[in-house]
């Protein structure tokens, strides 16, 4: 459960950074796109973890 909470905190932190950078730099900026991909990976990891716990 602790790992899941850590992952959620990381997702929220990255989401806030991404939102801010997207507003400042635009959504096509290379750094924004890289963070977006990282956030996608973290969210996928979260769903895998929650799905595994449900089984």
CATH code, 22: 4.10.280
pTM attached to this predicted model: 0.88
Note down the domain range covering 39: 2-54
Number of domains in the chain: 1
The radius of gyration computed from the CA coordinates of the chain, to the nearest angstrom, equals: 13
Listed residue (11, 16, 13, 15) closest to 44, CA to CA: 11
Structure token digits, residue 12: 């929220």
pLDDT tens for 2-55 read 899 999 999 999 999 999 999 999 999 999 999 999 999 999 999 999 998 887
- CB-count exposure of residue 26 (10 Å: 0-12, 13-18, 19+): exposed
Rounded to whole angstroms, what are the CA distances from 30 to 4, 21, 36, 38?
29, 11, 10, 12
- Residue 2: the pLDDT is 86
């Amino acid at each position: 459960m602790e790992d899941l909470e850590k992952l959620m905190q990381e997702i929220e932190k990255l989401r806030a950074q991404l939102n801010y950078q997207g507003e400042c730099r635009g959504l096509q900026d290379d750094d924004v796109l890289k963070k977006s991909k990282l956030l996608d990976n973290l969210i996928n990891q979260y769903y895998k973890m929650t799905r595994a716990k449900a089984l």
